[in-house]
């Protein structure tokens, strides 16, 4: 870092620390942001950069001196500014702060196969854990039902603001969550999946049934003489997976389970997102050839059981192999149950992953994997005005997130 840039960095950091950020009154207003280092989501950062946001969308990005900022517009200042961070696999909003039954909606244990369960019907945007993540720069969550049952339910993509799930939703239904892992029992009827082969076989059978259901429904729509099947929410959800409307989000850590997921993708021509993937480093050529992105297990997850071969260096290995990946907060059934992707990326950056690549995987890379990069992930004209403001290097332990902006509105700010 050059001495002039360091001086700008220090000055802006001190200025921001001296006074709390002033909230923008409405999403529809105009807001300018100035940073000593402006990361746009890919490539090198811009020294003394700026962003202008109007009516919730970015209208100008570049060196601050080149921006045409209208007179009287509030200008937020910070040492480092990045696009809003994206958590590519979470349960926040279904997993609640209180950790008591009424706010723990991330798993339903009544039966093993429930693709019809919608995250939209369970997500609580006003839970304190959502606000906590937002205060740390996370503006977008891919959240929903947790790993565990073979088919636990659907996921959705939300902004970390909004009074209701409908207002928060960016993508109301994104994927159906599958878990390929050691067998376990579910439900009062004692459904028991005693082997991995049984789990895959039941899932395959459900997909075949869904294909038949979809074809019969389509035939009835074309031919009045054909009889449509009775409506079945279970099969409807899986039919949307077969049609590519929803991704199949498969949590798999062992090589044999990852390989099983790839076989399902090939057989049914699915849009597959691989979740967890502790042993992905052993199948890098196969993952690249299949074009399957990895929603990487949290770096700080406990390396036991299925995760015994998890490694801090996996993100670096995926980058080197050209396999798309993103960071996740994941899920574990103990307090506080919610992690922060910024910290996960920082650990990976300390263990072989290029720092700019780590930041990209938190922003534009995650947006591309989730298919939302037209709106979020980078600071570009026309995209949503979602930003995270820091008083130093985001990957340093002593750095604070000074404020979070979503669609041009300050939704979180540090109190000093």
**In this prediction, what percent of the chain has a pLDDT beyond 90?**
79
User: In the chain, where are the structural domains located?
Assistant: 3-83+379-413, 85-370
Q: pLDDT averaged over the chain?
A: 90
Query: CA distances (Å), 234 to each of 40, 197, 207, in order?
Result: 41, 22, 10
Q: Among positive and negative, which fits the CA dihedral 238, 244, 246, 252?
A: positive
pLDDT at 30 over 80: yes
Model pLDDT for residues 254-296, shown as the tens digit of each residue: 999 999 999 999 999 999 999 999 999 999 999 999 999 999 9
Structure tokens at 70: 């209208």
Put the strands of the sheet holding 387-390 in their side by side order: 57-63, 46-54, 30-38, 75-83, 387-390, 401-406, 409-413
Class for domain 3-83+379-413, per CATH? mainly beta
The pLDDT of residue 414 is above 90: no
Find all residues with CB under 8 Å of 189, minimum gap 6, and list them.
Answer: 111
pLDDT for residue 223: 84
pLDDT band at 100 (very low <50, low <70, confident <90, very high): confident
The residues near 390 (Cβ < 8 Å, ≥ 6 apart) are 78, 79, 80, 81, 82, 137, 399, 400, 401, 402
- pLDDT tier, 25 (very low <50, low <70, confident <90, very high otherwise): very low
Q: Smallest Cα–Cα separation from 89: which of 241, 277, 236, 254? A: 277
Query: Over pLDDT 70: what percentage of the chain?
Result: 90
CA dist., res. 227 & res. 211, Å (int): 16
pLDDT number for residue 15: 43
- The pLDDT value recorded for residue 188 is 52
What was the pLDDT predicted at 280? 97
State the pLDDT at residue 23.
37
Condensed to tens digits (0 to 9), the pLDDT of residues 307-352 reads 999 999 999 999 999 999 999 999 987 766 789 999 999 999 999 9
β 138-144/46-54 pair status = unpaired
Predicted confidence (pLDDT) per residue in 117-165, tens digit:
999 999 999 999 999 999 999 999 999 999 988 999 999 999 999 999 9
CATH level 2 (architecture), domain 85-370: Alpha-Beta Barrel (3.20)
Task: Supply the pLDDT for residue 110.
Answer: 87
pLDDT band at 191 (very low <50, low <70, confident <90, very high): low
| Alpha-carbon gap, residue 341 to 309, rounded angstroms | 20
How many residues would you count in the chain?
416
pLDDT at 277 (0 to 100):
97
Cα torsion 385, 386, 391, 397 to 10°: value is -160
pLDDT of residue 336: 65
pLDDT for the residue 20? 35
């Amino acid at each position: 870092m050059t001495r002039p840039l360091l001086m700008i960095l220090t000055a802006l950091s001190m200025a921001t620390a001296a006074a709390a950020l002033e909230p923008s009154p409405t999403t529809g207003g105009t807001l300018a942001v100035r940073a000593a280092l402006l990361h746009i989501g890919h490539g090198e950062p811009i020294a003394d950069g700026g962003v202008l946001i109007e009516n919730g969308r970015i209208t100008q990005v570049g060196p601050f001196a080149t921006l045409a900022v209208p007179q009287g517009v509030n200008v937020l200042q910070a040492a480092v500014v990045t696009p809003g961070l994206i958590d590519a696999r979470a349960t926040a909003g279904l997993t609640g702060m209180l950790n008591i039954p009424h706010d723990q909606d991330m798993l339903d244990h009544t039966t093993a196969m429930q693709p019809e369960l919608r995250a939209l019907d369970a997500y609580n945007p006003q839970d304190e854990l959502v606000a906590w993540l937002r205060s740390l720069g996370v503006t977008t969550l891919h959240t929903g039902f947790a790993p565990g049952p073979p088919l636990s339910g659907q996921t959705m993509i939300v902004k970390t603001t909004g009074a209701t799930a409908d207002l928060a939703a960016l993508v109301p239904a994104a994927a159906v969550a599958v878990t390929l892992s050691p067998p376990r029992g579910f439900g009062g009827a004692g459904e028991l999946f005693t082997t991995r082969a049984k789990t895959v076989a039941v899932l395959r059978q459900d997909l075949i049934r869904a294909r038949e259901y979809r074809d019969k429904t389509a035939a009835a729509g074309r031919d009045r003489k054909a009889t449509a099947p009775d409506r079945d929410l279970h099969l409807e959800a899986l039919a949307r997976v077969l049609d590519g409307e929803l991704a199949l989000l498969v949590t798999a850590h062992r090589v044999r389970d990852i390989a099983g997921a790839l076989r399902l993708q090939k057989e049914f021509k699915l849009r597959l997102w691989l979740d967890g993937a502790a042993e992905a480093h052993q199948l890098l050529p196969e993952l690249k050839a299949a074009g399957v992105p990895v929603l990487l297990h949290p770096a700080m997850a406990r390396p036991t059981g299925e995760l015994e071969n998890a490694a801090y260096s996996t993100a670096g290995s995926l980058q080197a192999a050209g396999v798309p990946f993103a960071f996740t907060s994941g899920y574990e059934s103990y307090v506080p149950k919610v992690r922060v992707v910024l910290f996960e990326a920082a650990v990976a950056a300390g263990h072989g992953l290029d720092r700019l690549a780590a930041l990209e995987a938190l922003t534009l890379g995650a947006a591309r994997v989730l298919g939302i990069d037209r709106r979020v992930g980078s600071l570009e004209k026309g995209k949503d005005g979602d930003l995270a403001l820091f008083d130093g290097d985001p990957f340093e332990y002593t750095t604070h997130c000074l404020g979070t902006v979503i669609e041009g509105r300050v939704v979180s700010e540090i109190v000093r």
